[in-house]
């Protein structure tokens, strides 16, 4: 054998998995198709819009035409680089709500309730400024807060308070609900990716990184024995005692299907011999969809002052020489989690606040100075799927999120827009708020808001669910609660594919958690559950705020 374990994908979960296995004295090979993560565009937090739009770092996937979004094909980036998507993401750190994990447990992911995952969140973190007792202080992953120097970031929290919402000093602690500071995987002014937190230490403990494209899992007599890897003209088979797929919510189901594990009829269409008929492979695809509600600013207080050649040169040079200034922050420094209506037990709307009016692709609003809130519902009932386009491993998968296919989605987005307008109309924003850039003052009735959603909603880049955990007798489950692929020995999945349902907020933290916890399942151990009681609004049944 080449190793005790082969981990496919050096992303958020894969790096954590490799480190914990190596730390336990096991031999580990990590196979990653992407390359070096050392470039300034990756390491400078303020440059976050660049790497996710660079083919050298991103798989470059796009969705199929989305039928409920006017046939638009949306970008679906995933990291193709050491650190995976933790090297190209927005660095926002959100654990998810406690009740998300209790829901996983209730859906059949036994041992994944909040009491079970909290000790793993604490083990993985070094929290800078988080709530004592709820947060970790000696883990590999540094989690910090931005300086919040910009008056707009403070105005957002104050406006939320003025609108009648609560505040929270740590949404990753006891109380998620409310307005407060946002957290990020940034350390000493640099992106703190899973590669830095976990992969480098794993390599020091003997883990090896192999470059190449994994084309399939080698399965002999019902057991995974290794993987086939192509690098340029060379093709080799790496063998191990166990194979762990951590290749993303797109590439993990693709690899399972290429290896004969998936919906039998679909595999037959592509001439692939069926090893295990698992209809859940590639199904249950979920994401967060979001809008940018943009306002013009009446004062020159936004980051637009740097949105020119001279400004960018200043930001870049300052960061390069001192790791300080605007380039040392992802600029998502204020956040909120609120409930859309009475009767919802825990937050179902997330806000990222940004003190400039731009898009993820870096296009600034023509108006100049401005600010925006990224807002979207957290728990859409819409479900999509990932399918093969070909039996050729180099072919991209077919990705259809089927966004907005559930009627409730439309009502939820209208609510998001109207609640955001109310927040921006509070006295805290009076010194700064000009006209509404988008949707624009004319968009008021349901039809106008729906048209805006159809044209402008964007993915928040949180795909998950395509190889979901469940009990072994659940026909739609792909893996059991220990990550073992049902129907094949010696094969596990550890990434966001296994999520039964999407969690609140950004998915990097839950993905790293998955690698951490699955590593303990591989090693036959577990941390003792912690019965911490999270805050729930006492009047949630009758009050929205």
Give the residue ranges of the annotated binding site for FAD.
81, 89-92, 214
- CA distances to 111, 157, 191, 472 from 267, in Å: 32, 51, 40, 22
SS percent in the chain: helix, strand, coil, step 5: 30, 25, 45
Residue 515 near residue 507, CB atoms below 8 Å:
no
Q: Which of 522, 386, 530 is nearest to 465 (CA)?
A: 386
Query: Taking the CA atoms of the chain, what radius of gyration do you get in angstroms?
Result: 22
**Cis ω before 446 (30° cut-off from 0):** no
Query: How far is Cα 98 from Cα 530, in angstroms, rounded to an integer?
Result: 12
**246 phi, psi to nearest 5 deg:** -135, 55
Query: How far is Cα 537 from Cα 401, in angstroms, rounded to an integer?
Result: 32
- CA distances to 41, 151, 325, 329, 509 from 147, in Å: 21, 11, 10, 8, 21
**Residue 187 a catalytic site member:** no
Q: Which of 91, 9, 93, 95 is nearest to 51 (CA)?
A: 91
Tokens of 93: 């750190």
Instruction: Return the number of other C-beta atoms located less than 10 Å from residue 344's C-beta.
Output: 16
Q: Which of 355, 452, 449 is nearest to 70 (CA)?
A: 452
For residue 187, give the 3-state DSSP assignment: strand
From the number of C-beta atoms within 10 Å of its C-beta (0-12, 13-18, 19+), residue 135 rates as: buried
Residue 10 near residue 84, CB atoms below 8 Å:
yes
Sequence-separated (6 or more) residues with CB below 8 Å from residue 155: 428, 429, 431, 432
CA atoms within 13 A on the CB side of 214: 33
Catalytic pick from 97, 288, 374, 462?
Answer: 462
CA angle, corner 100, sides to 66 and 11, nearest 5? Answer: 65
Query: How far is Cα 209 from Cα 441, in angstroms, rounded to an integer?
Result: 53
- Residues that are catalytic: 462
């Amino acid at each position: 054998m080449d190793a005790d374990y082969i981990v496919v994908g050096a992303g958020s979960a894969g790096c954590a998995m490799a480190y914990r296995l190596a730390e336990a004295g096991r031999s580990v090979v990590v196979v990653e198709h992407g390359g070096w993560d050392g470039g300034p565009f990756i390491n400078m937090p303020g440059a976050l819009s660049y790497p996710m739009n660079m083919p050298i770092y991103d798989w470059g996937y796009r969705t199929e035409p989305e039928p409920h979004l006017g046939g638009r094909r949306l970008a679906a980036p995933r990291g193709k680089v050491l650190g995976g998507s933790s090297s190209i993401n927005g660095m926002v750190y959100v654990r998810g709500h406690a009740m998300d994990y209790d829901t996983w447990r209730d859906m059949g992911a036994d041992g994944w309730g909040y009491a079970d995952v909290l000790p793993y969140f604490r083990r993985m973190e070094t929290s800078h400024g988080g709530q004592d007792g709820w947060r970790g202080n000696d883990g590999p992953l540094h989690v910090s807060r931005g300086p919040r120097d910009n008056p707009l970031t403070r105005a957002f929290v104050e406006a939320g308070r003025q609108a009648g919402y609560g505040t929270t000093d740590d949404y990753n602690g006891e109380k998620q609900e409310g307005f407060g500071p946002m957290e990020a995987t940034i350390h000493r002014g640099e992106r703190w990716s899973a590669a830095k937190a976990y992969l480098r230490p794993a390599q020091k403990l003997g883990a090896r990184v192999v470059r190449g494209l994994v084309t399939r899992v080698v399965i002999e007599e019902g057991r995974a024995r290794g993987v086939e890897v192509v690098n340029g003209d060379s093709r080799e088979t790496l063998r191990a005692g166990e194979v762990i797929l951590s290749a993303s919510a797109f590439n993990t189901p693709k690899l399972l299907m290429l290896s004969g594990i998936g919906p039998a009829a679909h595999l037959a269409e592509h001439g692939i011999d069926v090893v295990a008929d698992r209809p859940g492979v590639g199904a249950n695809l979920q994401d967060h969809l979001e809008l940018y509600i943009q306002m013009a600013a009446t004062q020159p207080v936004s980051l637009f002052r740097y949105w020119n050649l001279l400004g960018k040169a200043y930001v870049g040079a300052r960061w390069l020489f001192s790791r300080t200034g605007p380039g040392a922050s992802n600029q998502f420094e204020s956040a909120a989690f609120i409930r859309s209506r009475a009767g919802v037990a825990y937050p179902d709307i997330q806000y990222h606040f940004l003190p400039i009016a731009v898009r993820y692709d870096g296009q600034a609003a023509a108006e100049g100075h401005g600010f925006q809130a990224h807002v979207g519902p957290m728990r859409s009932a819409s479900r999509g799927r990932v399918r093969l386009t070909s039996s050729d491993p180099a072919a991209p998968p077919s990705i259809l999120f089927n966004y907005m296919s559930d009627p409730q989605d439309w009502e939820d987005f209208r609510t998001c827009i109207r609640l955001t307008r109310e927040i921006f109309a509070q006295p805290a924003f009076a010194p700064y708020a000009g006209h509404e850039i988008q949707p624009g003052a004319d968009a008021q009735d349901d039809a106008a808001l729906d048209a805006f959603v159809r044209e402008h909603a964007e993915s928040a880049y949180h795909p998950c669910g395509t190889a979901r955990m469940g009990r072994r007798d659940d026909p739609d489950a792909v893996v059991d609660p220990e990550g073992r692929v049902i129907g094949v020995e010696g094969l596990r999945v550890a990434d966001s594919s296994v999520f039964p349902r999407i969690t609140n907020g950004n998915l990097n933290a839950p993905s790293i958690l998955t690698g951490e916890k699955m590593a303990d399942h591989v090693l036959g151990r577990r941390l003792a559950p912690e019965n911490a009681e999270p805050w729930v609004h006492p009047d949630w049944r009758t009050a929205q705020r």
